[in-house]
């Protein structure tokens, strides 16, 4: 299975880097949470890692041809609006495109991958619904299902649980942790520090474009970092269910 190696990755917007010299080796089997305040550079870092925008330094994914990259990495962008009035099954089926030759019809394996992804995102029974007629959270789940149906070795997701209800946030985080446990690399930008701490195996902290922390959640999420990077005071505890990180107050 593939990982992702970032080497001195920088992205400039004008004279200023919004991603500044980021290096990291992300391995198969990891569920990596990319955390940082608004504007820290998370989306820009992921897009550069995928080779979607100009950057300096290197990303192992950006070096692949477009066809190889589509088979290697599934990408779930931040914007979740579905524009086409197709069925949910057709939408999720688009995730299989990298596996098909031009003009090739989907086969049994593709249909099974679509059914698995629908089931994992709690969308069984939605197959024939029009995607544009789903609620915002249901559309978000259908788009996650499309990315999951790709069954690529790497899944990169920008705020995948934004807009989902609490139960579906947890099931999605559990699904991503399960995909990582199967040997895939999952990278997700996340704002919910509590869920990131509980489900991710590793957190990368981005602050003003720079990597300010990298390691297991309970090593990375300490009082000093939360105050400095997020301007937060949080309740931190270890429980049999995993770590609890609950923001309590803004540090002024």
Ligand X SMILES: Nc1ncnc2c1ncn2[C@@H]1O[C@H](COP(=O)(O)OP(=O)(O)OP(=O)(O)O)[C@@H](O)[C@H]1O
Q: Quote the least distance from Cβ 164 to ligand X, whole Å.
A: 16
HSE (side-chain half, CA atoms, 13 Å) at 119: 6
Partners of 214 in the beta sheet?
Answer: 204
Q: Which is nearer to ligand X, 39 or 125 (CB)?
A: 39
As a whole number of angstroms, the distance between CA 118 and CA 92 comes to 8
For Cα atoms 124, 126, 129, give the angle at the middle one, nearest 5 degrees. 165
Quick check: 195 binds ligand X (CB under 6 A)? no
Q: Which is nearer to ligand X, 149 or 220 (CB)?
A: 220
Site string for ligand X, 99-138 (x = CB under 6 A): ----------------------------------------
As a whole number of angstroms, the distance between CA 99 and CA 121 comes to 21
Q: Quote the least distance from Cβ 194 to ligand X, whole Å.
A: 17
Stretch that binds ligand X, among 35-43, 55-63, 178-186, 215-223 (CB under 6 A): 35-43
As a whole number of angstroms, the distance between CA 198 and CA 59 comes to 28
Quick check: 13 binds ligand X (CB under 6 A)? yes
Quick check: 217 binds ligand X (CB under 6 A)? no
Stretch that binds ligand X, among 23-31, 32-40, 226-234, 239-247 (CB under 6 A): 32-40
Whether 197 and 209 have beta carbons less than 8 Å apart is answered as no
Quick check: 160 binds ligand X (CB under 6 A)? no
* DSSP code for 104: P
Determine the size of the site formed for ligand X (CB under 6 A): 10
Quick check: 39 binds ligand X (CB under 6 A)? yes
Q: Which is nearer to ligand X, 33 or 41 (CB)?
A: 41
| Helix 166-181 vs helix 136-149: crossing angle, to nearest 10 | 10
Quick check: 59 binds ligand X (CB under 6 A)? no
Sign, CA torsion 67/188/52/59: negative
Residue 223's CB is within 10 A of a number of other CB atoms, namely 12
Quick check: 44 binds ligand X (CB under 6 A)? yes
Judged by the rule CB under 6 A, the positions of this chain that interact with ligand X are: 13, 18, 36, 38-44
């Amino acid at each position: 299975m593939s990982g992702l190696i970032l080497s001195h990755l920088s992205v400039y917007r004008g004279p200023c880097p919004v991603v500044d010299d980021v290096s990291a080796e992300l391995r198969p089997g990891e569920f990596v949470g990319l955390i940082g305040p608004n504007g820290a550079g998370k989306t820009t870092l992921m897009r550069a890692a995928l080779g979607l925008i100009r950057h300096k330094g290197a990303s192992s994914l950006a070096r692949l041809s477009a066809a190889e990259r589509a088979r290697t990495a599934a990408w779930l962008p931040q914007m979740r609006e579905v524009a086409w009035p197709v069925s949910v099954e057709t939408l999720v089926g688009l995730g299989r495109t990298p596996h098909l030759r031009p003009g090739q019809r989907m086969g049994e394996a593709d249909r099974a991958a679509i059914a698995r992804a629908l089931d994992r995102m709690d969308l069984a029974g939605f197959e024939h619904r029009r995607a544009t007629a789903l609620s915002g959270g249901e559309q978000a789940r259908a788009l996650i299902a499309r990315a999951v149906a790709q069954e690529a070795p790497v899944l990169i997701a920008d705020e995948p649980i934004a807009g989902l209800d609490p139960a579906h946030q947890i099931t999605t985080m559990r699904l991503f942790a399960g995909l990582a446990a199967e040997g895939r690399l999952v990278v997700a930008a996340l704002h919910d520090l509590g869920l990131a701490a509980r489900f991710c195996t590793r957190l990368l902290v981005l602050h003003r474009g720079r990597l300010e922390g990298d390691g297991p959640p309970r090593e990375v999420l300490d009082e000093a970092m939360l105050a400095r990077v997020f301007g937060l005071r949080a309740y931190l505890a270890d429980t049999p269910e995993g770590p609890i990180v609950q923001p309590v107050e803004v540090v002024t």
